[in-house]
Amino acid sequence: RSADGAYQLRLSGLLQAHGYFFSDDHDDAVSDTFTLRRARLIFQGKLARYFDYFIMPDFGGSSPALIDAYVDVRYQPELSLRVGRFVSPFGLEHIRAAGNISFVERALPDNLVPDRDNGVQLFGELGRGAFEYALAVANGVVDGGTSQNDTSDAKEFVGRIFAHPFQSFGIEPLRGLGIGFAGTYGDQDGALPSYKTSGRQTFFAYRNGVVADGERFRISPQLFYNWDSFSILSEYVLSSQEVAWGGMSDTLENEAWQVALSYVLTGESITYKTMFYPVWGNGMRPRHGFDPLKRNKGPQTEIWAAPFQPSHPWGALEFVARYNRLDVDSKAFPVYADPFSSARSASAWAFGLNWYLSSHFRVTADYEQTDFEGGAASGDRPREKVAQVRFQAAF
């Protein structure tokens, strides 16, 4: 950091050690495992006041990869330019930083949402976050995919708007209401995606030889609401893609949605920050950081606002629950996907606890149960029951 703040370099990171444990898995189709889900290092900074850079490799997963790498020109907040590889401005849960999501894994709609792409983005905000927008031109990626190089000349357009219409009004319960809409439009040839459960098991894949062959668009209305220690995240995603196999072709529309609730038992508040100002850390600061040999002091809050107020500093505790569902277009079967190995729908509910020991260290434990229609020779793919644990350091 230079003396006048015109030059800065900040090194931060995110480490997520996960454990997945499946119950009722009688035929050992999947293995309980410890894994490093994300081990990200973030090199970001500012050059000559108006130029930001951001480089984030991830060393978790099966091999290291570059997740984000972009430069921003930020001369005026209303109109900025981003060039490089960045999160496609589309999915509500997806553009939330990986260290801030409420569950160990994102929900089923994340399967339909583009991940990272290479391209150019114009973005900005008006009225101190009351309205924000982003418009990108990029290589184009399949549902859930990340781009390296493009394999066609066609580019994908991605746009998103999000507003807090009541942000500057006096009505307290409405101030935290945010609504938005996102869409993509492009043309895709070749690869097609597959879809996974939160236990990271593939439940839907196209047949070998089926390819994307033409127009693809996606739309997503989305909502985030918070009031004190309570919040709701909800989104709907529709992904439409022309596919072809042999001489046949069709337009398939897959859709998914989720509603996720969060209640911080110890009374802290969680807000959803915009994609342009990522929050590092856990996204929440406990009133009392972990140090149980001490005693808490100070006034207690009302019981409805914080039902769990221990006498010693144990950190903050959040209860979360969600319902989420994905439906594959019924026209996909049996030509483009095998009904005996690919399910035509997955619906899941989950609940979990987030224990924030400090604003930078967090433990999450979830249970999620997913039911399928189709996807097995005997009818329905067996229910997946998975307990998931995460230890997270966000520095």
Site of interaction with a second copy (CB under 8 A)? 7, 9, 11, 13, 15, 17, 19, 25, 28, 31-36, 39, 41, 43, 45, 47-51, 53, 55, 57, 59-60, 62-66, 69-71, 73, 83-85, 118-120, 138-139, 147-153, 155, 289-291, 357-361, 391-393, 395
Minimum distance of a second copy from residue 261's CB (angstroms): 28
**Alpha-carbon separation of residue 295 from 131, 311, 312, 314, 359 (angstroms):** 43, 6, 4, 10, 19
| CA 264/CA 53 separation, integer angstroms | 34
Q: Which is nearer to a second copy, 313 or 374 (CB)?
A: 313
Q: Say how many CA atoms lie within 13 Å of 42 toward its Cβ.
A: 20
Contact yes or no for 185/208 (Cβ under 8 A): no
| CA 144/CA 119 separation, integer angstroms | 17
Q: Say how many CA atoms lie within 13 Å of 240 toward its Cβ.
A: 11
| CA 7/CA 113 separation, integer angstroms | 35
| CA 199/CA 196 separation, integer angstroms | 8
Q: How many CB atoms lie within 10 A of CB 291?
A: 14
